[in-house]
Structure 1
């Protein structure tokens, strides 16, 4: 039996799973969600392949069939198989004959069209966050939520970048965030606007002056605030702000604040007559994109949402507006 943080592994793969997760952490990866998948896989193997310790094709395909039988979405199925494939590769690197599931053969994930908030929707949403109350689960909820969601929009942060933001990486004097261990192991500096800088300083005085928390947005146990906590509040705020969550197939996502930031930034530049060829590298660096096409994707959305500037964009920047459709939100 092997233990790692909150997880207890009990199958024949316990030691390899623990070592593999430790390796990921040693490389600077948070690796929390994949660890949850590996824990489920560990239980599955304990119940069905109790004495096995090498990932054979039979074991891997049985896990895959379980996901198919549960009618998992293409995205969830991919998330369910990828850590198992990586674990098998880890065993192969050790000299074992493990079966590496070909994740590239999985069905493609459905494209996602982001929701771009209007100015009125943003005002209503942020007003609702300002009126949230203290809860036993998180005594700082009423202080965290107004700042957390404004930070997502005003800085275009990914949710994980905000939840894992270290207090020591917030420069209160200069108004600059240091984002570490971001997507693709990236790091970047994110300057704050004047308004959000003032809010951050007031928030710090209320939350961190009497007790220095490791994470800028701490949970009750001083761990980083959990995604499901943020998501639960997000859905409640949408409802109270009278913003439709979009239904089962078109749900608004927290990540849409990041999309909205990028589109609003481009819209403002176009209306101000800025040269986007000059401005684009700044937006790419600010958002932590590794590829230019990720940033160019927002130019296409901007042209579609604001017809009054769409013609200008198409005439002036035809070579940098991509023709592909919506992409999964986590890719940007």
Structure 2
């Protein structure tokens, strides 16, 4: 990606500050890929039409930039609003006085619904990966995928968090993962169940790992970091083999395993009698969210879990809302 970045030349009014903004975002733990460079360069180019003796972004200029363009999707407009807001915040942090587009004016789409796998579907996927055959072109492929998908479902990790694990990050004695440089540049400890810890030990033994040595827990063929692209491709194949979706369907994503972990975990905590308001902060910390609101929005409940959760908090509302009598 570093070589590709040479192709992105900023020559608008903010050309001096765009590279600084990229570095700022990366230092916060955000990825800044090719599409982000395109968006930033478009923003810089957009303001060439303004005569700026001194650098400024006022309300009129920002509203011009974020205004709806023809038949573009709300998502595209939303991304433009978020970019100009974050850029203004950055510029103000280094001494400017730019207009910051209000966060409450950025529309949030609630149309996306993640796919929540049933426990039976998870079992079918694991059965498929457990029966992968040895292939000469990827000698550890049949061992990596059963371990990887068990960890994704058992710990709710993001795919890049799992693939970035080094061997030293997996404590096989205490059953704890150390997730470093996760989203938002955060780190956290992730305890594993005893059964998953046992599976990790067996996996490490089969792979011939020195767990105190260097290297990735999920190594590529050249012992580097395993790329997430083949995981996405193989996951669709695994689901098709498991009979979860057909070629004519878009199908669930790898990230939906994380959603599924969250839903199944909360459902289990409720079944175990835990207070919902105690369960959510625990899940928030485990998933690596910055705040409880992120967990509440992230957690899309299955119909089964929804009923359990509503039942668990119903006593809290008892007597708060008076019954409304209607004529039969």
TM-score where L is the length of structure 1: 0.70
The equivalent residue for 2:130 is: 130
Query: Within 5 A, what are the aligned runs for 1:165-184?
Result: 165-184=165-184
Aligned to 2:38: 40
The residue aligned with 2:141 is: 141
C-alpha distance in 1, partners of 2:204/2:190? 18
2:199 matched to which residue of 1?
Answer: 199
Deviations 1:280-320 (A, max 9, x none): 55434323344445556689826x3258746742534659x
Instruction: Give the 5 Å matches for 1:63-78.
Output: 68=69, 71-72=72-73, 74=75, 77-78=77-78
Which deviates more, 106-115 or 271-280?
271-280
The question of whether the paired residues in 2 share the 8 Å contact of 1:88 and 1:98 is answered with yes
Find the counterpart in structure 1 of residue 232 from structure 2. Answer: 231
> Do 1:116 and 1:256's aligned partners in 2 also have CA atoms closer than 8 Å?
yes
Whole-Å separation in 2 of the counterparts to 1:150 and 1:70: 43
Q: Is the 8 A contact 1:129 1:146 kept in 2?
A: yes
Mapping 1:144-293, distance limit 5 Å: 144-207=144-207, 209=209, 214-220=215-221, 224-244=225-245, 252-274=252-274, 276=276, 279-293=279-293
Partner of 1:11: 10
1:189 alignment partner, SS class:
strand
Instruction: Give the Cα–Cα distance (whole angstroms) in 2 for the partners of residues 274 and 38 of structure 1.
Output: 42
CA contact (8 A) 1:114 1:259 kept: yes
TM-score of the two chains, using structure 2 as the length reference: 0.70
Count of equivalent residues: 310
Change over 3 Å in CA distance of 1:70–1:253 after alignment to 2:
farther
1:90 counterpart residue number: 90
Q: 1:200 and 1:245, CA in 2 relative to 1: closer, same or farther beyond 3 A?
A: farther
Tell whether the 8 Å contact from 2:216 to 2:224 is kept in structure 1 after alignment: yes
User: Partner of 1:37: helix, strand, or coil?
Assistant: helix
State the distance in 2 between where 1:251 and 1:20 align: 36
Q: Distance in 2 between matches of 1:296 and 1:43?
A: 34
Post-superposition shift, 1:272? 4.2
Partner of 2:119: 119
Structure 1 residue 15 displacement after superposition: 5.4
Q: Name structure 2 gaps, 5 residues minimum.
A: 319-328
Q: For 1:190, what is the secondary structure of its paired residue? A: strand
How far apart, in 2, do the equivalents of 1:183 and 1:138 lie? 29
The whole-number CA distance in structure 2 between the counterparts of 1:63 and 1:171 is 49
Structure 1: state its 5+ residue gaps: 320-332
- Compare CA radii of gyration and give the structure with the larger one: 2
Contact 1:246 1:252 in 2 (8 A): no
1:5 positional shift? 6.2
Q: Is the contact made by 2:170 and 2:178 (CA closer than 8 Å) also made in structure 1?
A: yes
Change (3 A) 1:252 1:162: same
Q: Work out whether residues 62 and 99 of structure 2, in 8 Å CA contact, stay in contact via their aligned partners in 1.
A: yes
Following TM superposition, by how much is the alpha carbon of 1:243 offset from its aligned partner in structure 2, in angstroms?
A: 0.8
Q: How many Å separate the matches in 2 of 1:47 and 1:310?
A: 50
